[in-house]
Amino acid sequence: MKTVFFGGGCFWCIEAPILILNGVKSVEPGYMGGHFKNPTYEIVCTGQTGHAEVVKIVYDPNLVSIVTLLEIFFSIHDPTSVNRQGADEGTQYRSIIFAEEIEFLEAKKHLVHMEKSKVSNSPIVTELVCVTQNDWCGVSDDIKKIFWPAEKYHRNYYINNENNSYCSVVVKPKVDNVKKLFSKFIRK
């Protein structure tokens, strides 16, 4: 199993489309990239901690590749938008990837390809941070690389709240888009 962390707007918007993929063992919302220990949703939402809302993705690379995960990630958020995704605004909504060395190199290659192919007229602003398992498990001295799990009510938020207006208007179209564009990777 491999682990990668994606942030690109509200973590509910990343969690739901990734969760439906074959080969994804788990998706857990949380916080990374900040300078504050044990952050909470309320504190992160102030924009004062430096944390980004992220999801921790544990996946089987034999069933879904990091390249496929990256393609899906970039299809469900705007990597050219600074600290904003739709109506969600603040540093906690920035586009960011935390990945171990091999996945980090793949992500870097993917970002370079996106820039060269001029996917957008605007530059790609996705941050890329190389981490080790010791980093994200909390053994590291670098607090910015530690994964802090979000409160339990954030887990499976879309599945548990499909009728919520935010889920209907913002999350559902992302899930539907992934089902349409990446149908061969959807869990049966």
Q: How far apart are CA 5 and CA 56, in angstroms?
A: 5
Residue among 10, 13, 130, 137 flagged as catalytic: 10
Q: Could you tell me the two tokens for 105?
A: 């190199």
Is residue 167 part of the annotated active site? The answer reads no
Q: How far apart are CA 185 and CA 69, in angstroms?
A: 10
Helix residue spans in 76-182 (DSSP H)? 101-116, 133-136, 157-160, 165-166, 172-181
Collect all residues with Cβ–Cβ distance below 8 Å to 91 and sequence separation of at least 6: 47, 50, 52, 83
Which residues are catalytically annotated?
Answer: 10
